[in-house]
Amino acid sequence: MQTLTRPIAAALTALALATPATAQDEAPDLSTVVATVNGDEINLGHMVAARENLPQQYQQLPDDVLFDALIDQLVQQTLLSQTQDELTGIAEMTLENERRLLGAAQAVEDVVNTAVTDDALQSLYDERYADAEGGTEFNASHILVESEEEAQEIIAEIEGGADFSELAEARSTGPSAASGGDLGWFGEGAMVEPFQQAVETLEPGTLAEAPVETQFGWHVIRLNETRTAEAPSLDDVRGELSEELRQSAVDTQVEELRDEAEIDRSGAESVAPSDLGAAAASLQAD
């Protein structure tokens, strides 16, 4: 159940955050009637809701371009809907699901607004990063060749005084050959395991005594230097921490509501999982 709950909660969070906020003292009256169709009113609120359901590229059009088009769309929908005395069963269920979804999105918005504050972000950042020691970062170079014998020959040449970078440019088959085998800076666990393990056993400025084999071939490895990684700034991880606060708050709210609710799923025992697909197929066939 948890694997389903988290994606749904995340989707509700996204839906809640997608609704733009407007200052209450500046907001026009959503109940303002813009048109009537056989007595059925279309108001500004209907237009706003219709605009929010447009594809993103259309939402970005100027208001004066959208205004008449939205009214025309809503007039057409109203005319067509007036030809139906009632909705089909599946349409009624769809409408009910939409109401539940929108209600859930509003609840998520309330939870998120309470949970994701500057103080909460700072507190989580301090807990996660402020006092944490940064990991080790490595700067290494390598020469990649196809055989262990060739790699051993290169190690012997380097130990005999040959220039590592020149050998890398001349003999390495890896993409770093053009830069003399330089791999730049990388963190713990960034490289494939045999390579990473070899790098972590070296002292800065030293060459691995033996070639290291990976799925790419045989490596002659030199560790150039190491450094302690700096913790990211709050701005660097603000989005990540905000999402973590959002998800945690929504998960907590759902669990609290679940604990307090009376949920009876016994009716599902009379329905086979295959009935779901069969019922959907019958609707498509109608």
Domain assignment present for residue 154? The answer is yes
Confirm if 52 and 19 have CB atoms less than 8 A apart. Answer: yes
Average pLDDT over residues 104-128: 94
Predicted local confidence at residue 25, as pLDDT? 54
Q: Could you tell me if 114 and 14 lie in one domain?
A: yes
Q: Could you tell me if 109 and 218 lie in one domain?
A: no
Residue type, 20: P
Domain assignment present for residue 245? The answer is no
Confirm if 214 and 101 have CB atoms less than 8 A apart. Answer: no
Q: Could you tell me if 100 and 212 lie in one domain?
A: no
Q: Could you tell me if 65 and 190 lie in one domain?
A: no
Q: Could you tell me if 13 and 98 lie in one domain?
A: yes
Q: What is the pLDDT of residues 222-261, one digit of tens each?
A: 999 999 888 888 998 999 999 999 999 999 999 999 999 9
* Residue 9 in this model has a pLDDT that exceeds 90: no
Lowest mean pLDDT among 17-31, 105-119, 158-172: 17-31
pTM of the predicted model as reported, rounded to 2 decimal places? 0.55
Lowest mean pLDDT among 89-103, 160-174, 218-232, 272-286: 272-286
Domain final position from 89, 108, 132: 132
Q: Could you tell me if 127 and 144 lie in one domain?
A: no
Interhelix angle 234-260/118-125, nearest 10 degrees: 110
The number of beta carbons lying within 10 Å of the beta carbon of residue 108 is 24
Count Cβ neighbours within 10 Å for each residue of 45-58 and write b for 16 or more, e otherwise: ebbbebbeeeeeee
pLDDT category, 22, cuts 50, 70, 90?
Answer: very low
Domain final position from 72, 100, 132: 132
Q: Could you tell me if 51 and 107 lie in one domain?
A: yes
Predicted local confidence at residue 286, as pLDDT? 61
Predicted local confidence at residue 21, as pLDDT? 44
Structure token digits, residue 203: 């002292």
Q: Could you tell me if 122 and 145 lie in one domain?
A: no
Domain assignment present for residue 103? The answer is yes
Alpha carbons within 13 A on the beta-carbon side of 139: 11
pLDDT category, 133, cuts 50, 70, 90?
Answer: low
CATH of residue 200's domain is: 3.10.50.40
Domain final position from 97, 112, 132: 132
Considering its fold, how many domains does the chain have in total? 2
Structure token digits, residue 81: 């809907």
> Mapping DSSP to helix (H, G, I), strand (E, B) and coil, where does residue 262 land?
coil
Q: Could you tell me if 125 and 147 lie in one domain?
A: no
Which residues on neighbouring strands pair with residue 228, listed in sequence order?
Answer: 136
Q: Could you tell me if 2 and 80 lie in one domain?
A: yes
Q: Would you give the end-to-end CA distance of the chain in angstroms?
A: 33
pLDDT category, 282, cuts 50, 70, 90?
Answer: confident
Q: Give the torsion sign (CA, 49, 53, 55, 56).
A: positive
Q: How far is CA 104 from CA 46, 98, 151, in A?
A: 20, 10, 62
Q: How far is CA 161 from CA 10, 103, 217, 220, in A?
A: 59, 73, 24, 15
Q: Could you tell me if 81 and 141 lie in one domain?
A: no
Average pLDDT over residues 182-194: 94
The number of beta carbons lying within 10 Å of the beta carbon of residue 181 is 25
Domain assignment present for residue 243? The answer is no
pLDDT category, 130, cuts 50, 70, 90?
Answer: confident
- Classify residue 205 as left (phi > 0), alpha (psi -120 to 50) or beta: left
Predicted local confidence at residue 162, as pLDDT? 97
Q: Could you tell me if 79 and 192 lie in one domain?
A: no
Q: Which domain holds residue 33?
A: 1-19+28-132
Domain assignment present for residue 264? The answer is no
